[in-house]
Amino acid sequence: MSEIQAVHVAISGRVQGVGYRAWLRDKATATGVKGWVRNRRTGEVEAVLIGPADRVDGLVSACWQGPDWARVETVETTSAKETDLPGFTVLATE
């Protein structure tokens, strides 16, 4: 198993109103990645992904595609402080 990695992801484009949060939650849950996702009032989707580095990297790559109706323009990542989260949660818009 690879080292645990935590990243903050900001996804922009047509990513709200297209099921992006639910899609990311389902992908993360299926791959065993923990964290959270939420819409931003700026129109972005924001997430923190925590898990084995190879799984997190794969999920970040998948963020470029998103669900069928999404049109992703950018996926920006920065390192995040790892936290002990029980699973993957969809948070309220901030």
What positions carry a catalytic annotation?
21, 39
Coil, helix or strand at residue 67: coil
Q: Among 75, 94, 82, 72, which residue's Cα sits nearest to residue 35?
A: 82
Residue listed under structure tokens 């995040």? 80
Helical packing angle, 53-63 and 20-31, nearest 10°: 160
Q: Residue 61's CB: how many other CB atoms inside 10 A?
A: 10
